[in-house]
Amino acid sequence: MPFVSSFTVPLSSRPLLRLQEIRAIEAVEVPLADPPLMERAGAAIARAVIAHVPPGGLVCVLCGPGNNGGDGFVAARRLLALGRRAVVIGRFDGGGSGGEAAAAREAFVASGGVMLAGPDALETPPAAIVDALFGIGLARPIGEPHASWIEWGLAQTAFKLAVDVPSGLDADTGRCTGPCFTADLTSTFLADKPGLHTLDGPDRAGKVVVDSLGIDPRRHDLGLGRLLGLDAFADHLQPRRKNTHKGSFGHVLVVGGAPRMSGAAFLAGHAALATGAGKVTLCALDPNILSFSPVHPELMVGNAIPERGVDVLVVGPGLGASDPARALLARLLPSPLPLVLDADGLNRLAVDAELQESLRSRPIPAILTPHPMEAARLLGTEVAAVQNDRIAAAQELARRYRAHVVLKGCGSIVADPDGTWAINPTGNPGMASAGMGDVLSGLLGSLLAQGWPVPLAARFGTFLHGAAADRLVAEGIGPIGLRASETVAAARQLVNEWSERNRKAL
Ligand SMILES: NC(=O)C1=CN([C@@H]2O[C@H](COP(=O)(O)OP(=O)(O)OC[C@H]3O[C@@H](n4cnc5c(N)ncnc54)[C@H](O)[C@@H]3O)[C@@H](O)[C@H]2O)[C@@H](O)CC1
Ligand SMILES: [K+]
């Protein structure tokens, strides 16, 4: 049977609001909203359940002590009113946010709703489980009885829907602080939240649907963060004019390739060629490097830095930690050319104040592409501290080094020196393999050579690389065993497809 591709790419970018920004919207809108926001949130949950669960199936709503639980009570009440079977599992000891949530509970009970003290009391297995235990108010790891309810829920085959945020997931950082729900669908309110898209978020949230609850987001400060979508790149993803020559698309110089590590530099060079750089030269530290790439003889390979004609520098793939490597960094960092700095280039930078100063003083801020370990070295901290708040870590790196930063990992973060940031939604676990970072460096260099503005190149290179890996997985290539070199050809296909699509839209 032919393999049917299910590749889709996120089309629209959207704001990601951090906790304080969501709370600021709530503070303005809750007193004004009629009908109340909780009523609207509960109605949205009921609609989502109805869209996914056939009539007759039992809907089990797990309700916590705060307003997230309040949303759950409204949803359960509305489902009953629509003739659906719904019960709530919840226990209340007088604590919790009170007010609106308590009123929602009372309204549910007054409408004939049944509250059970735990899942053992259920008579039939549920067709759907709605997780309304904790939302953005999660303040500590989840304990009993809620932890056992989550464990029970995860063992069920039912459709699983999370209200606002999967309980146990930090909406701001994507960190699971203990037991955590895992949803098929998360219906999130007012605006999207970064924690749903980075670190553990993508594993826990399933598909994320944003419901603004009827609030016009333009009335509010939408913050500095965005979730990337293809629309953000439309202006630059254009088909080429016919009247062009190779000089129109720039000359990338890849610097790295120490003995036994030349593959990294070749990967970066191949990626740059395949995505449209006019010319690519590889300057390798390995004196015995092949004088040309048998795979791509178009690459110019040598041990010297060309005197002139280079437009963009990609420094780091396979560079190593030798003294000559350090000397190359010291020579190239002050260059006025756009620069991508990766891998060994970053590790050396982390321990060398002089190099750091020349990076900060560049006329055009560089793009740095650390993985969490490299980011930790650059910040003088532990990996766990970076992962505890990936956005803050990327912002701090961007500020401290006056550079655009791609903090790699699940939900890569792109941060700029001015504090703006984005999360990349593309990519998959197949990318956790050797050489992927080298390909990303090459893609970034290629975009810079073709004139993309630096912040946009950082975003699009990251988006494109992840989408290339996603396309391959949709075709049955990976995620297990996906090789970095395979993403190069897929990236080439995508840039051509996307550019051509934009021509048709003109
Ligand atoms: N404020 C509003 O009017 C709106 C709130 N909404 C919902 O309300 C949620 C936020 O409500 P809350 O601020 O009440 O927060 P939550 O309902 O997320 O949880 C807060 C409550 O849980 C307790 N708590 C926190 N962590 C705990 C833990 N690990 N174990 C036991 N108890 C814990 C807190 O003391 C507090 O009582 C949102 O996620 C959203 O679902 C929506 O209805 C939209 C409007
Ligand atoms: K929840």
* Residue 5 per-residue DSSP state: P
Dist. CA 334–CA 353, nearest whole Å: 14
Q: In which band, very low, low, confident or very high, does the pLDDT at 4 lie, cut at 50, 70 and 90?
A: very low
pLDDT at 204: 98
- Whether 374 is in a domain gets the answer yes
Q: How far is CA 12 from CA 189, 226, 409, in A?
A: 18, 10, 21
Contacts of 278 (CB under 8 A, 6+ apart): 245, 246, 247, 248, 249, 250, 251, 449
Residue 70 annotated as binding?
A: yes
Report whether residue 466 contacts ligand 1, using a CB cutoff of 6 Å: no
Residue 141 annotated as binding?
A: yes
Residue 216 annotated as binding?
A: no
pLDDT at 3: 46
Question: How many Å lie between the centroid of ligand 1 and the Cα of residue 28?
Answer: 17
Which residue CA neighbors atom 11 of ligand 1 most closely? 67
Give the bridge partners for 23, in sequence order.
none
Report whether residue 26 contacts ligand 1, using a CB cutoff of 6 Å: yes
- Whether 488 is in a domain gets the answer yes
Closest ligand, as measured to the CA of 160:
2
Which residue CA neighbors atom 42 of ligand 1 most closely? 38
Among 168, 191, 222, the domain-final residue is 222
Q: What is the CATH number of the domain that holds 317?
A: 3.40.1190.20
Residue with more model confidence, 293 or 154: 154
Question: How many Å lie between the centroid of ligand 1 and the Cα of residue 97?
Answer: 7
Looking at the fold, whether 155 and 37 belong to one and the same domain comes out as: yes
Q: Among all chains, which residue has been given the structure tokens 């040309």? A: 292
Looking at the fold, whether 319 and 449 belong to one and the same domain comes out as: yes
- Residue from 155, 150, 158 nearest 176 by CA: 150
Looking at the fold, whether 198 and 249 belong to one and the same domain comes out as: no
Report whether residue 135 contacts ligand 1, using a CB cutoff of 6 Å: yes
- Whether 10 is in a domain gets the answer no
Report whether residue 138 contacts ligand 1, using a CB cutoff of 6 Å: yes
Q: In which band, very low, low, confident or very high, does the pLDDT at 291 lie, cut at 50, 70 and 90?
A: confident
- Whether 234 is in a domain gets the answer no
Q: In which band, very low, low, confident or very high, does the pLDDT at 505 lie, cut at 50, 70 and 90?
A: low
Mean pLDDT over 173-189 rounds to 97
| pLDDT tens, position by position, 246-270 | 778 999 999 999 999 999 999 999 9
Dist. CA 157–CA 363, nearest whole Å: 56
Dist. CA 46–CA 41, nearest whole Å: 9
Residue 291 annotated as binding?
A: no
Residue 118 annotated as binding?
A: no
Closest ligand, as measured to the CA of 133:
2
| pLDDT tens, position by position, 346-382 | 999 999 999 999 999 999 999 999 999 999 999 999 9
Query: What are φ and ψ of residue 321, in 5° steps?
Result: -115, 25
Tell me: pLDDT of 72 over 90: yes
Looking at the fold, whether 135 and 262 belong to one and the same domain comes out as: no
Looking at the fold, whether 278 and 151 belong to one and the same domain comes out as: no
Which residue CA neighbors atom 35 of ligand 1 most closely? 96
Looking at the fold, whether 154 and 261 belong to one and the same domain comes out as: no
Residue 408 annotated as binding?
A: yes
* Residue 398 per-residue DSSP state: H
Looking at the fold, whether 52 and 182 belong to one and the same domain comes out as: yes
Residue 399 annotated as binding?
A: no
- Is-contact 280 310, C-beta < 8 A? no
The total number of structural domains that make up the chain: 2
The alpha carbon dihedral of 37, 38, 39, 40 has a sign of positive
Dist. CA 273–CA 253, nearest whole Å: 11
Which residue CA neighbors atom 1 of ligand 1 most closely? 26
Q: Which atom of ligand 1 is nearest to the CA of 100?
A: 3
Q: In which band, very low, low, confident or very high, does the pLDDT at 98 lie, cut at 50, 70 and 90?
A: low
Q: Which atom of ligand 1 is nearest to the CA of 171?
A: 39
Report whether residue 38 contacts ligand 1, using a CB cutoff of 6 Å: yes
pLDDT at 378: 97
Report whether residue 39 contacts ligand 1, using a CB cutoff of 6 Å: no
Looking at the fold, whether 35 and 142 belong to one and the same domain comes out as: yes
Looking at the fold, whether 117 and 37 belong to one and the same domain comes out as: yes
- Across 294-317, b (16+ Cβ under 10 Å) vs e yields eeeeebbbeeeeeeeebbbbbbbb
| pLDDT tens, position by position, 44-66 | 999 999 999 999 999 999 999 99
Which residue CA neighbors atom 5 of ligand 1 most closely? 67
- Please give the structure tokens belonging to residue 405: 């930063």
Among 194, 222, 250, the domain-final residue is 222
Mean pLDDT over 495-501 rounds to 93
Report whether residue 71 contacts ligand 1, using a CB cutoff of 6 Å: yes
Looking at the fold, whether 276 and 186 belong to one and the same domain comes out as: no
Report whether residue 163 contacts ligand 1, using a CB cutoff of 6 Å: yes
Which residue CA neighbors atom 43 of ligand 1 most closely? 38
Question: How many Å lie between the centroid of ligand 2 and the Cα of residue 130?
Answer: 8
- Please give the structure tokens belonging to residue 66: 């705060």
Q: What is the CATH number of the domain that holds 213?
A: 3.40.50.10260
- Is-contact 264 294, C-beta < 8 A? no
- Whether 7 is in a domain gets the answer no
* Residue 99 per-residue DSSP state: H
Question: How many Å lie between the centroid of ligand 2 and the Cα of residue 467?
Answer: 29
pLDDT at 477: 95
Mean pLDDT over 326-331 rounds to 96
Among 222, 257, 277, the domain-final residue is 222
- Whether 233 is in a domain gets the answer no
Which residue CA neighbors atom 16 of ligand 1 most closely? 137
Looking at the fold, whether 143 and 254 belong to one and the same domain comes out as: no
| pLDDT tens, position by position, 453-497 | 999 999 999 999 999 999 999 999 999 999 999 999 999 999 999
Mean pLDDT over 439-447 rounds to 98
Coil, strand or helix at 228: coil
Looking at the fold, whether 286 and 142 belong to one and the same domain comes out as: no
Identify the domain containing residue 410 by its residue range: 241-505
Residue 388 annotated as binding?
A: no
- Please give the structure tokens belonging to residue 189: 């309110």
Tell me: pLDDT of 94 over 70: no
- Whether 2 is in a domain gets the answer no
| pLDDT tens, position by position, 109-150 | 999 999 999 999 999 999 999 999 999 999 999 999 999 999
- Whether 50 is in a domain gets the answer yes
Alpha helices (H) in 10-93, listed in sequence order = 19-29, 37-52, 67-81
- Is-contact 324 299, C-beta < 8 A? no
Closest ligand, as measured to the CA of 185:
2
Choosing from 97, 144, 165, 175 the residue with most ligand 1 atoms within 8 A of its CB, the one to mutate for a pocket test is 97
Dist. CA 28–CA 453, nearest whole Å: 37
Give pTM, 2 decimals: 0.96
- Residue from 288, 309, 197 nearest 246 by CA: 309
